[in-house]
Structure 1
Amino acid sequence: MITPPEVFKSLADETRARATLLIAHLGELCVCELMCALNDSQPKISRHLAQLRSNGLLLDRRQGQWVYYRLNPGLPAWVHEILQVTTQANARWLHDNVSRLQDMDARPVRDAACC
């Protein structure tokens, strides 16, 4: 069971917070989409995603060359509620990230059965 200190420590870094809130808002994103949205390098994004995965906040799946991340559905309801409220209350803070993602060329195509 994940504890409040673990959740808040995981989200204390801006990159991890933005990535988690984008994933909470959009459902599932691959590393390349997060690189575009966050305007950061693959090693940095992957390192932060690995930490979020090891802390139990995210799950990943591979589809061809892409690795997709989503919130762990087994998280307690309070974690989902915190992420939902934080995302809604901070749309302006995430605006540039969402805009970059919407303008991204050649976004990967997900299998219809997966998403």
Structure 2
Amino acid sequence: MTERLAEIMAERRALEVRQAWDTVLRTREGRLVIWSILERCYPFAQTHHGNEMDGWRAGQREVGLMILNERIFPHDVGTFAAMQTEHAELMDRIQLAAEQQAEREQADE
């Protein structure tokens, strides 16, 4: 394989990946999936706790920061804000549903 052929292939693959990320980030469901991944990556949390898991958490954080910096932030100015808003709304709906379920269970006792 020539060097130029390898470059063209890499450019085409990068385009396919960007288009796939665009597809994912354009839907509420896709943004929720990405948010759930970010939650496991500690991008805004302290990873050093003075134990054997520090390196592992730091590695996860690097992945989370890469997702944010290379995929989410460049996608659209409002994408990350939309993700935050949608997550807050989801958690409000979950809390309300949980409270209602707890009240029903308590009434059934």
In the superposition, the TM-score normalised over structure 2's length comes to 0.33
By relative contact order (CA 8 Å, sep 6+), the higher-ranking structure is 1
- Greater helix share, structure number: 2
In the superposition, the TM-score normalised over structure 1's length comes to 0.32
